[in-house]
Amino acid sequence: MLEIPILGLLSEAPMHGYELRKRLSTLLGAFRAFSYGSLYPSLRRLQEAGWIDEEPPVAEPAGGFGTRSRRGKRVYRLTAEGKEHFAALLAEVGPDAYDDEGFGTRLAFFAQTRSDIRLQILEGRKQRITEQADGLRSSLARTRERLDRYTLQLQEHGLESADREVRWLNELIETERRGPN
Amino acid sequence: MLEIPILGLLSEAPMHGYELRKRLSTLLGAFRAFSYGSLYPSLRRLQEAGWIDEEPPVAEPAGGFGTRSRRGKRVYRLTAEGKEHFAALLAEVGPDAYDDEGFGTRLAFFAQTRSDIRLQILEGRKQRITEQADGLRSSLARTRERLDRYTLQLQEHGLESADREVRWLNELIETERRGPN
DNA sequence: AACTGATGTATCGTCCTGATATATCGGCGA
DNA sequence: TCGCCGATATATCAGGACGATACATCAGTT
């Protein structure tokens, strides 16, 4: 779900759906694509759960100037419960924090995450990708000569990418260990 | 859909669902994950479309020895129409051949694809990733100093990955141009 | 005054994911 | 010989995501 990214962005400032989407696209870019077809239902679910609510429209009385709250624009903000819930989400680690999407969204809000949790997530992700790389490596060693040129290229590129990510994670982990500020 | 990978694997040999999934997992590994919940419905759709059909169960008459077709095992094979349809699929290029999933599945069957089509797909993919990288690069140039350490790392890693893929594609394109055999 | 492109909310059909249920096979130890 | 277990094998369901599309309004241009 879009739980973490939505709550995270709203924790910085109230915002409406369209803006939320723009920010999420640039924030997560490569890691996550999503559409209005998932954004608006998510907003409604989060609202039903009580984690976000809508800012009342500015009512725009006669002659009101300067108030640019366009009719139909729904501005969402984090509730107190939402704030708590978001903090709790950032403090828990599970297997879903290690897959592409979960890891990307968590990393995007690492600045608000406790250092020990950051470390756990990085280690878990590293283990996940390492396993993936080793699986590819051994499968490649077994079947290399049976593969055509293109399949081979595909697998080798995948393997190199995985290895590169492990190295990258190692750097992040080391930095984290050095200065858990 | 799983149209291309299923037809592609069945074009090599008849197979049942479980085996199909195993092969697909190792073949596409990083590029594509999928579950039985998508595999079996896909098989049924392809069967309804007439692209594949089921090998009749071996009937196992009295005393039959050696026939190890276990009851309940459904072996699928490509029909003549399916063979044609698969060839047609490999001969057409569209925007969906440039995204992660579409590109991965097509690359896996490049050995059976015409050289000019291969080149078109590689060029299209390259353009797609180049745009993505440039977008990231300019967004990064604009917002670099406003990003926290982790978001910055995330974006830079994404950018490097994209740049690396472009270089990889360039190699594939050059090889293809040199010897379109 | 009309056009155009960005802003903004919303829904629909089609499909996928993750979990779960069910059953059979082959091998192993008791 | 029997039962157990992990791998093999098919199938379905609830929840939800994606891509397309529809429909407005706003801001700037011509």
Q: What is the pLDDT of residues A158-174, one digit of tens each?
A: 999 999 999 999 999 99
Q: Are A31 and A61 in contact (CB under 8 A)?
A: no
Quick one: average pLDDT of A72-77? 89
Separation in Å: D2 C1' and B17 CA: 32
- Asked if the model's pLDDT at residue B69 lies above 80, the reply is no
What's the confidence (pLDDT) of residue A59? 54
Q: Tell me the count of A-B CB pairs closer than 8 A.
A: 78
Quick one: average pLDDT of A80-93? 94
Quick one: average pLDDT of B56-85? 69
Nearest to B110 among A29, A139, A150 (CB): A150
Q: Which residues contact B150 (CB under 8 A, 6 or more apart)?
A: A107, A108, A110, A111
Footprint on protein of nucleic strand C, Cβ below 7 A:
A 16-19, 22, 35-37, 40-41, 70, 72-75, 99; B 1-2, 32-38, 41-42, 45, 68, 70-72
CA pair distance B126, B133, nearest whole angstrom? 10
Q: How many angstroms away from the CA of A93 is the closest CA of chain B?
A: 18
Nearest to A158 among B29, B110, B136 (CB): B29
CA pair distance A122, A127, nearest whole angstrom? 9
Separation in Å: C14 C1' and B38 CA: 12
Q: What's the pLDDT tens digit per position in B5-18?
A: 999 999 999 999 99
B144 CB within 8 Å of a chain A CB: no
Backbone angles phi, psi at B53, to 5 degrees: -145, 175
In a 3-state reduction of DSSP, which class is residue A138? Answer: helix
Nearest to B26 among A108, A139, A149 (CB): A139
Tokens of A125: 């992700």
Q: Which residue, chain included where needed, has tokens 């077809």?
A: A37
Separation in Å: D12 C1' and B38 CA: 11
∠ CA B11-B48-B72, nearest 5°, is 75
- Say which residue, A67 or A8, is predicted with more confidence: A8
Q: What is the DSSP letter of B51?
A: S
For chain B, positions 6-45, list CB contacts with chain A under 8 A.
26-27, 29-31
What's the confidence (pLDDT) of residue A121? 95
What's the confidence (pLDDT) of residue A31? 67
In a 3-state reduction of DSSP, which class is residue B98? Answer: coil
How far apart, in Å, are the Cα atoms of B39 and each of A118, B1, B5, B12? Answer: 36, 9, 11, 18
Q: What's the pLDDT tens digit per position in A100-146?
A: 889 999 999 999 999 999 999 999 999 999 988 888 898 888 888 98
What's the confidence (pLDDT) of residue A14? 95
CA pair distance A6, B36, nearest whole angstrom? 31
What's the confidence (pLDDT) of residue B174? 96
Backbone angles phi, psi at A144, to 5 degrees: -45, -50
Write out chain B residues lying below 8 Å of A27, CB-based: 151
Which of these ranges, A5-19, A41-55, A70-84, B61-75, has the smallest mean pLDDT?
B61-75
Which of these ranges, A54-68, A148-162, B83-97, has the smallest mean pLDDT?
A54-68
In a 3-state reduction of DSSP, which class is residue B13? Answer: coil
CB atoms within 10 A of CB A155: 24
Confidence of residue A181 (pLDDT cuts 50, 70, 90): low
CA pair distance A116, A91, nearest whole angstrom? 9
Q: Fill in the amino acid letter for B127.
A: Q
Confidence of residue A63 (pLDDT cuts 50, 70, 90): very low
- Asked if the model's pLDDT at residue A66 lies above 50, the reply is no
Confidence of residue A64 (pLDDT cuts 50, 70, 90): very low
- Asked if the model's pLDDT at residue B63 lies above 80, the reply is no
What's the confidence (pLDDT) of residue B95? 86
- Asked if the model's pLDDT at residue B60 lies above 90, the reply is no
CA pair distance A73, A103, nearest whole angstrom? 32
In a 3-state reduction of DSSP, which class is residue B53? Answer: strand
Which helix (DSSP H) or strand (DSSP E) does residue A163 occupy? helix A149-178
What's the confidence (pLDDT) of residue B25? 84
Nucleotide with C1' nearest the B44 CA = D11
What's the confidence (pLDDT) of residue A58? 61
In a 3-state reduction of DSSP, which class is residue B76? Answer: strand
Quick one: average pLDDT of B113-137? 92
Quick one: average pLDDT of B133-150? 89
Instruction: Give percent of chain A above pLDDT 90.
Output: 63
Q: For residue B138, give the chain A residue with the closest CA.
A: A26
Write out chain B residues lying below 8 Å of A29, CB-based: 132, 135-136, 139, 155, 158
Q: How many angstroms away from the CA of B63 is the closest CA of chain A?
A: 38
Q: How many angstroms away from the CA of A16 is the closest CA of chain B?
A: 21
Separation in Å: D3 C1' and A133 CA: 39
- Asked if the model's pLDDT at residue A87 lies above 90, the reply is yes
Contact A164 B168 (CB under 8 A): no
What's the confidence (pLDDT) of residue B71? 54
- Asked if the model's pLDDT at residue B88 lies above 60, the reply is yes
Confidence of residue B56 (pLDDT cuts 50, 70, 90): confident
